[in-house]
Structure 1
Amino acid sequence: MDPDAEAALRYRAKAELRKRARAVRSSIPLDAILERSRRIQRALAELPALVAARRVALFYPIEGRNEVDLRELDPLLRARGARVAYPSIDPESRAMTFRFVEDPEAMEERGLGFREPDATDEEAAALDVIVVPALQIDARGHRIGYGAGYYDSTLPRFCPPAHAVGVVFDFQLVAEVPATPGDVPLGTIVTDARVLAAEPA
């Protein structure tokens, strides 16, 4: 098959998988989402890379989308002496970076559905671990996000040496995600049932 045609097919497949994955996740009751999120946070807290980390990027859950909720992990990391950063999108360039915040509850929603740091908060020049959201992940570490490409364009600036950890509920772990140009595989996958080291492609 022509490479361009194959890439187009993979993009269409990802779009369909994204649509289905959002529908499945939205059908899960909120109390189950929160309980599964707690299991993920407990696993993350014991992950060697995160135990050793002093600069960690988390993400704030998008309200109403049943994302993995990491809000209880934030104070635990701070109690260990780590600094915690969150994604920040430049309103003009649409480029994403991470900014360290003192109080995640003080962040504000800025038009993209999730709370972001203030533009005056310190930008992270380096990180030890970046925790990445997804709609689906396969064992190779390939993920399906919301399609904007923020993480795929940003992760290469930090990884390596930063370690990228994808978090999903166990039902979001799939056999294969169609790989497309620009995809950045994750190193570790954490679900509410298991922790996996991504398999090389």
Structure 2
Amino acid sequence: MQDIASKARLRAEALARRAALDAGAAAAAGRAARDALLSAPEVEMAGTIAAYVSIGTEPDTRGLLFALWKRGAYVILPKLLPDGDLDWASYEGPDSLAPGRFGLLEPTEPARGPEAVSRADVVLVPAVAIDRTGMRLGRGGGSYDRALARVGPAILTVGLVHDGELVEELPAEPHDRRVRAAVTPSEGLVRFA
């Protein structure tokens, strides 16, 4: 129970710090993430990339999504299911997005099923914090932990965070899944052993 309370407190603190950010900080973090990821060898060679549409003051992913799509990568984005799991559908440019559950922008293309993420060459996920072992703190719904459980051990999984959100240690529960790398504006792509 202590880990659950610790995670809730850390999540609330991180989200409060993010709420104080302006749109310019999210845009700048998004540009830094885009530049770092577009030059990563795994991303350069990827045929399929699972990503997400950022919300609020998360590092902005819209420029990255468009760049990946224009480059010719097959980009899949999540569609939130009623049980909190994620289905996936293809991104066909900015006009292929529409509000979904809770107002989240989702692809309008046909769903490919929750297992579609297992066929991605690179998986990008949101996070409110990541520690230096790759433990990821999300928003608490478990959607991305379920998705990451479907991804093979050799696949690059990356969490996008702001400076100050890559921390030394986070509490973990048995269902929590690690990412293999993080991107921050000042450190770029940071890989974990």
Matches within 5 A, 1:138-153: 138-153=131-146
For the pair 1:52 / 2:52, whether they are aligned, the reply is: no
In the alignment, the residues of structure 2 paired with residue 38 and residue 130 of structure 1 have an alpha-carbon distance, to the nearest angstrom, of 18
For the pair 1:197 / 2:187, whether they are aligned, the reply is: no
Matches within 5 A, 1:14-29: 14-29=7-22
Which letter does structure 1 place at the counterpart of 2:141? Answer: A
Matches within 5 A, 1:122-201: 122-123=112-113, 124=116, 126-194=119-187, 195-199=189-193
Identity of aligned residues (%): 33
Q: Which residue of 2 aligns with 1:73?
A: 64
Paired residue secondary structure (1:20): helix
Which letter does structure 2 place at the counterpart of 1:186? Answer: V
Counterpart of 2:106 (choices 98, 102, 116) is 116
1:170 positional shift: 1.5
Q: Which residue of 1 aligns with 2:93?
A: 103
Q: Which residue of 1 aligns with 2:78?
A: 87
TM-score, normalised to structure 1's length?
Answer: 0.87
Aligned residues: 189
1:20 positional shift: 0.3
Paired residue secondary structure (1:84): strand
- Mark the structure with the bigger radius of gyration: 1
Q: Which residue of 2 aligns with 1:4?
A: none
In the alignment, the residues of structure 2 paired with residue 78 and residue 118 of structure 1 have an alpha-carbon distance, to the nearest angstrom, of 15
In the alignment, the residues of structure 2 paired with residue 137 and residue 196 of structure 1 have an alpha-carbon distance, to the nearest angstrom, of 11
In the alignment, the residues of structure 1 paired with residue 16 and residue 95 of structure 2 have an alpha-carbon distance, to the nearest angstrom, of 28
In the alignment, the residues of structure 1 paired with residue 165 and residue 143 of structure 2 have an alpha-carbon distance, to the nearest angstrom, of 20
1:36 positional shift: 2.1
Closer, same or farther in 2 for the Cα pair 1:162/1:99, shift >3 Å?
Answer: farther
Give the gaps of 5 or more residues in structure 2: none
Paired residue secondary structure (2:65): helix
CA contact (8 A) 1:21 1:136 kept: yes
1:196 positional shift: 1.4
CA contact (8 A) 2:80 2:101 kept: no
Which letter does structure 2 place at the counterpart of 1:102? Answer: E
Cα RMSD of the aligned pairs, angstroms, is: 1.7
Residue-by-residue CA offset, 1:88-130 (whole Å, 9 max, x unaligned): 1223x33213211213433222222421123724443610011
Which letter does structure 1 place at the counterpart of 2:159? Answer: G
1:78 positional shift: 2.2
Paired residue secondary structure (1:112): helix
CA contact (8 A) 1:57 1:131 kept: yes
